[in-house]
Amino acid sequence: MLRPLDAPLPAGSYRLQTVGVFAVFYFLLATWTYGLSVPSGLFIPCLLTGAAWGRFVGICVGKLFPVGTAQVVKGGRWVCCVLRQLVLFRCLFNMSRR
6 or 91: which leads in pLDDT: 91
Q: Residue 74 burial by CB count (10 A; 0-12/13-18/19+): exposed, middle or buried? A: middle
Under 8 Å between Cβ of 30 and 50: no
SS3 content of the chain, % helix, strand, coil (to 5): 75, 0, 25
Tell me, what's the pLDDT at 72? Answer: 65
As a whole-number percent, the residues of the chain with pLDDT over 90 amount to 1
Q: Residue 58 burial by CB count (10 A; 0-12/13-18/19+): exposed, middle or buried? A: middle
Express each pLDDT in 45-78 by its tens digit: 778 888 888 888 878 877 777 666 666 666 666 6
Tell me, what's the pLDDT at 26? Answer: 86
Tell me, what's the pLDDT at 71? Answer: 66
Express each pLDDT in 3-45 by its tens digit: 666 666 676 777 888 888 988 998 888 888 777 777 777 777 7
